Chain A
Amino acid sequence: MEITIKEMNRVDLIEVAGRIDSSNAEELGEALKQRVDDGRRNLVVDLAGVEYMSSAGLRELVATLKQVKQGSGDLRLCNPSERVAEVLELAGLDSVFEIYDDQVTAVGSF
C-alpha cells in the first residue's frame, strides 16, 4: 500500500494505492491519525489506486471519521473503484461518508 499526503490550505488530500487488508490497514489508520493529531480536520481520502479494501480498511476510515467529526471536520472519499464502491454500499457506509466522483469536487466540497 502507498500513501501520499498533500497538505492544502484547508484540506488534506490523502491518496491511497494498492491493497488494504488486516495486514496493513493499521498503516492507513496511523497516517490518518497523524493528520488529526497535527490539528487537521478536513480530510479527503482518494481511493483511485485502491484495488482491494477489506473491512479492516473500512474500520480505520470510520475511526478517523469519528475523530474529525468531533472537531467539526469531515472525512470525505473520492474515486472508489466499482468493487470498493460495492463494499461501501453493502456495509451501509455510502450513507455515512460523502463520496465524490473526483478529487477536485471532493476537495472543493469543503
Chain B
Amino acid sequence: MPEIRELTVAGRYDSIPIITRFVSEAAAAAHMTEQENYHCQMSVDEACTNVIEHAYGEEDSGSIHIRCIIEHGLCTIEIIDTGRPFEPESVPEPQISPDVEQLQPGGLGLHLMRKFMDEVSFTFEPGRNILKLVKRHTPELTLIAHEPMLAQHTASGIRVVSPQGRLNSSVAPDLEEVLTAFLQQGHSRIVVDFSNVDYISSRGLKTLVNAWKTARGAGGDLLLSSVNAHVYEVIEMVGFNQVFQIHASLAGAVAALDG
C-alpha cells in the first residue's frame, strides 16, 4: 500500500524551505537516490515558486497543498493551489543563448521540471489547479557482459538482459544462452528489457516461455519491460500477455521483483 503524506503551507516564499524539506523526506522514504531526491526537491520548489508568482500573483494570497504518494521506487507529488489557472503551452521555452543580451531565462522552472521528472501534468478544475509530478527511481545496473547481448544486474541480484533489434531465430539462441546462464547460476529473478526490440518471432517467444517456466520453478520470475506496441500485439495474439508480467519501464519491473 502506498504511504500518503500531506502538507499545507501559506503561499509565500519563506514556505519554500519547509516544502523542500518535506519533499526530501518523502523522496528518501520512496528509496530515491540523492540525485533523484534533488530532482524532486527542485521540481516542487520551482512549481510552488510559480504558484506564488503567477497563479496567486503575490505572496499571502492563498495556500499551497502538497500530497506525496510514496511507493518503493516511485514518488508521485501533487501540488494544489486555488489561484489563476494557466495554459502550460503558453509558457515560452527559456531563451538561452551565449549572446547575453538575448538571455530570457523566464520559463526556466517549468523547463527544469520537465527535464527532472518522468511525468509533469496539469489539471485545472473549477476553483483549483493540480500539478502532478512523478519521479521513478532508476535502478543502478552493473554490467555483466556485452556479448552476445547486454546483460546487467542490480545490487539486489536481479538479472537484466537487453536484446537488440529483431528477436528472430538467429538472435533467439543468443538470448537463450544468456537466460540459461542466469538460471544455471541460480539467478531466477529476471527482466527481459524490450526497449530496443522491434520484432519477435515464435522462436523468440518459445525461448522466453521456456526460461519463464524454469525461473518460476526455481521460485523466481521472468518479467518483460518496455515492450513496444507492435511487439505487444504479437504477445497478446498468442495469449502470452496472460503469462508474462509486462511493465511499462525497466524500473517498474525491477521494483516488482524487489518488492
Binding site for B on A (CB under 8 A): 19, 21-23, 52, 54-56, 58-59, 62, 65-66, 69, 82-83, 86-87, 90-93, 95-96
Contact = CB atoms under 8 A, between A and B. Distances in A.
Given A23-B14, A91-B94, A96-B103, 15 more contacts: A23-B13, A52-B20, A54-B42, A54-B49, A54-B109, A58-B105, A62-B103, A66-B100, A82-B35, A86-B35, A90-B111, A90-B116, A91-B112, A92-B94, A96-B100
Nearest to A74: B100
Given A23-B17, A91-B105, A54 B45 contact: yes
Contact of A87 (B15, B53, B97, B112): B112
13 contacts: A21-B13, A21-B17, A22-B52, A22-B53, A23-B17, A55-B46, A58-B105, A59-B108, A62-B103, A65-B103, A83-B38, A91-B111, A96-B96
A52 B41 contact: yes
Interface of B: 13-17, 20, 35, 38, 41-42, 45-46, 49, 52-53, 94, 96-98, 100-101, 103, 105, 108-109, 111-112, 115-116
B13 A55 contact: no
A66 B17 contact: no
B-side interface mostly: helix
A96 B13 contact: no
B35 A83 contact: yes
A19 B115 CA distance: 21
A87 B42 contact: yes
A50 B11 CA distance: 25
A60 to B, nearest CB: 10
Contacts of A22: 13, 16, 45, 49, 52-53
